[in-house]
Every structure is written in structure tokens, then in C-alpha cells.
Structure 1
């Protein structure tokens, strides 16, 4: 599954680090944010799907070992890294944008800007370029030196129920926009339960449309490479996702379960009615998420290559 799994900005109970600062590179690398923004814009105008990809990558980075850029580390013969974990394998997008920004930054101010900060800035710039509200990014993260595929098991799955999602997001954070592989939700169309082949909470017309986009092959399985949009505006950052959920058109089980609790249903209704409120709360949530379990001071390192720890 690629660009973005869930949309929920309800709970943040994690300890946030206070050492990050807005305008952190003002003196050490004044053009840092400009360079990163330019690379995101350049990539977006080539492929609009890159914006949700970068936001999702930031989310998946923060969910494992905190926001330390460990998701960017490439697997080696001796280690299977996060990018190849069960929740990420073959689905993460945007590595080339981070690498392009890093290459320019290394020419501008060598060894100064961390890959974790580049990813945090790129996620913010992706929201802005796709129509969302911007925010000031607290920076000063340092890069982690450990990346393990096995640790991605904690990333929330699209088939999670509401309780599982609330427990997960109580630790980290969330976002919306993008696409998904059919295999991530096809059970809702063909083998939902012993009693019902199709999820009864799914709008019948929407289910029919999804079946046309995700047909079963002769072996009874859907094409693992087939992809559908999450909604009708997959690269625009706005609140139509919540309108879809209220119409029983949430793509994932984890989406539709937001209507099963009075508290989360109230949030969905509020965001469906008020796009500005949704965007404002989303920005606040992203700021908080981006500070989860960060490395600062002398911890970690500043990678010279975002795809590998320093020699």
C-alpha cells in the first residue's frame, strides 16, 4: 500500500522533546528550507503522487524509533532495514526527493542538515504544495543509526479496528491523501467474514466500483500491483475523506470504524463540515508527531548520505 493509510488526529500522549527549534538552521545553513521546498515542488510537478508519498514516509519514520530518519536507511546484505519491513516493502515513495535535497545541502553546508529534518520539512512542503496549510517545523533532529525491518510491525494496518488505532495513535500521529494497493482492502470485497463475502458497512455502489478496479483473477486473488485512489481527490489536501467516511465510502476497515464510536464520529462530522478546522488540527498534529522520540544534542549523527549510516 502506498501514499497514505489513515486519517485521525485525535490523541497524542507521547513525551515530546523540547530541544527542537523553529528556524534551527538560520545561521548554519540559511537556505536549507528553501532548497528542500524547491526539490519537493520540482518532484510534485513531475508526479503529484509524490506529495502523499513523502507525508506517509515521514509518518512511517516517526512510528518506528521516533522521527530519526531511520526509514531512509537502505537494506544491506547483513541487515533488512525498515524500508523492507512488512508495512513498507515496495510501497514507500520519495527517497529520490530526499536524496536530491541532501545532495544540494551537502554542497551548500556539508554535514549540517540531518536527513530526519529534511524528511520533516519535505512532509510539510508536500502538504503545502498540494493545497494544505503550512506550519513552522521545529528542527534540530539528528539521524538514527539503526533500521530494522522487524520493527515496522507496530505501524497501524488498514484492517485495524478502532480500539487498535486509538492505541496506536495515542503513541504517534496520522494523516490522509493518496492511493492503495487492492490487496490492502480486497477482503472487504470478497471474503470479509464467514457470513458475508462483502463488508456490509461498505456502500454497495462504491463496492461495485472497487470490484471493477480490483477484479479477482483465475486464482481467486486480486492483482497485487493494482492500485486505486483513496477518494476522488487523491492528491489534493482537503477534507473530502471525512465526507466519504460518512457516506460509508472509507476505503479501509480502519477508516470506516471511525463511525463506530460517538467520540470519533463527532470528529468525523466536524471535519467533514469544516475544512479549515481539519487542516488546522492536522498541522498541529503533524508538529506534535514530528517531535516524537527525536535524537538531539550528541545522540545519533548527521548522515552524509541519507540512505546509509556514516562509515
Structure 2
């Protein structure tokens, strides 16, 4: 099998024609010209310290956008008014990187106080993490504002679990204005990062469309009972590099999550998987486009919401 390909130099420039027309890559050019460089430097330092953090920051942006839009709500701690999203089933003991976001925010606040939203920091950190690990770059439309509330129950229902079948995934993404092609491209984010035993246990013991040797090896790490927090790489081949190996793994039935391998169950998605195996540059281009599209899900703009001074709590 040919080696997986990482397109380190691909840069996809994508701009603002979308439902969130008020967002712009140049939003902070006059109000906080050092914002993007400040976020990038902090992300680079965090990922150098712990490679896994790149995947964690990318995932934070996804889990934020899928719950009431890209509004930074996932970062809010519980308070007397609401129970936040951090303890929702898809997030508890799983989503991470909050301390890194706090660090980025504090650095940005030193550059320009009360200007850059936490929601925009998540969008920028996701892009910078992907680039840091060898993936494509894109212009991030900016100008989101921060939510003043969070919704645990919506997080429980809107973020598709790793046990999802293909129909559920397609519906979930469609509900957010994302196409089947966006689903496949964004699933490629699983070319980096780790998952807990609880996320893949059912697959390695119950699924038939899984490589037997792959399943046996995982079963030694993840027994049928216990060791719930044992981690395994989402991409068995190159887990620390953003490349197209995730899609190659699906061809050999080595997708870690049930929801991953489901992409091979319908021609509309399996054909796209095959395309990304043979054309890694197409994956990079489509992933960048889909990230821009996802980042425009129901943003708060204008006078909506606020610019939080502390990403964990409302002003």
C-alpha cells in the first residue's frame, strides 16, 4: 500500500460568501492587528509541548459549533443560571484544552483588551493546530461574539456520538447546513488525536466490518469491562500527522470508531473516501472549505452576545 501523504504546503484561501456575511478574515486588522499572530504563537507552543493538543483544540471548535452555533459556549463553566456543556455526555472526561484556551485568551487580552472573542480564538486555534500538524491552512472568517449562556441538553443531543450510523451522521450534519461531502471531509479530522475505550469498545467487540487483527490488538487495551479511559489512536498509521491516512485505514476496515467505518457503507460517502485516498490534495482543499463552512454555523454578530474577558464566565 502506498504511503499516506501529508500536504504540508497546501494553502487554501477561502473568503466570506456565506450565510454569515458579516464575518471577515480582516475583522481585527485595525482593532487588534496582532491578534492572529498571538493566537498562532500560543497554539504552536502548546502543540510543541503536547502533540495531542492540536487534535483537542480542533475538537473544541467542532463541539462548540454543533451546539447553538460557534459562540464559545463550550468554554463556559457551570453557574447558578445554567449547567454548561462541559459535563454533557459527548464532552465530560473527553473534551480538553480549556487551560490552553485560557492561556491564549490571556495573551490576546494583553495585546488588546476586550476585543477578541473566545469563539474566534477557538476558530483560529483549530486552523493553527491543523497547520502545525502538517495540514492545510485557510483564511478564518472572524467577528463572532461570545454567548452568555450554554446548553447541556442540546450538547447531549446535537453532537453525534461515536456509535452513530451513517444515516444519523448525515442527518446531524444536514441539520447544521453541512453536506454529505462536508461530513466526509470533516471526519478526516480523525487523522489526528486519541479516543477513549468507552468510545470504541462496542465496535471492537460487536462490529463485523473490522480487521480481525486490529480488533484483537485493541481488545488487549480495552476489555469488555473496565479501563474506560484507556486511549487509542484514531489513526493507527500516523496519529501525529494531519494527512490522508485516516481514509486509507477505512479501506482496510481499521477505522477506530463505529461512526468512522460507517463512511464505507454508502456509495456517496465511500466514493469520497476513495477520492481522498488517491487525491490527498482534494482532501486538504475540501477540509479547509468545510471548516470555513462549519465555522459560520449561527455565529453571534453585531451587538449579539458579548466579548468575554474570561472564556470560562460571562462578564
TM-score by length of structure 2 reads 0.88
Partner of 1:98: 101
Partner of 2:11: none
State the Cα distance separating 1:80 from its structure 2 match: 2.0
- In structure 1, C-alpha distance between the alignment counterparts of 2:171 and 2:286, rounded to whole Å: 19
Partner of 2:159: 155
Q: Deviations over 1:56-76 (max 9, x none)?
A: 000000000100000111123
Aligned-residue CA RMSD (Å): 1.3
Indicate conservation of the 8 Å contact 1:22/1:138, yes or no: yes
Q: Deviations over 1:75-103 (max 9, x none)?
A: 23553201111110121121122111111
Q: Say if 2:244 is the partner of 1:265.
A: no
Indicate conservation of the 8 Å contact 1:81/1:147, yes or no: yes
The counterpart of 1:206, out of the listed 190, 214, 220, is 214
Indicate conservation of the 8 Å contact 2:67/2:151, yes or no: no
Q: How many residues align?
A: 285
Partner of 2:182: none
The counterpart of 1:298, out of the listed 295, 300, 303, is 303
Partner of 2:91: 88
Task: Give ranges in structure 1 of 5+ residues lacking alignment.
Answer: 1-14, 193-198
State the Cα distance separating 1:278 from its structure 2 match: 0.5
State the Cα distance separating 1:188 from its structure 2 match: 2.2
The counterpart of 2:33, out of the listed 30, 33, 39, is 30
Indicate conservation of the 8 Å contact 1:29/1:108, yes or no: yes
- In structure 1, C-alpha distance between the alignment counterparts of 2:81 and 2:173, rounded to whole Å: 32
Task: Give ranges in structure 2 of 5+ residues lacking alignment.
Answer: 1-17, 179-185
Indicate conservation of the 8 Å contact 1:186/1:222, yes or no: no
The counterpart of 2:115, out of the listed 112, 115, 134, is 112
Is 56-65 or 228-237 further displaced after alignment?
Answer: 228-237
Partner of 1:288: 293
- In structure 1, C-alpha distance between the alignment counterparts of 2:99 and 2:35, rounded to whole Å: 17
Q: Say if 2:65 is the partner of 1:57.
A: no
Secondary structure, aligned partner of 1:81: coil
Secondary structure, aligned partner of 1:83: coil
TM-score by length of structure 1 reads 0.89
Is 77-86 or 120-129 further displaced after alignment?
Answer: 77-86
Secondary structure, aligned partner of 1:180: strand
- In structure 1, C-alpha distance between the alignment counterparts of 2:175 and 2:281, rounded to whole Å: 25
- In structure 1, C-alpha distance between the alignment counterparts of 2:273 and 2:153, rounded to whole Å: 33
Is 172-181 or 259-268 further displaced after alignment?
Answer: 172-181
Partner of 1:181: 196
- In structure 2, C-alpha distance between the alignment counterparts of 1:189 and 1:267, rounded to whole Å: 25
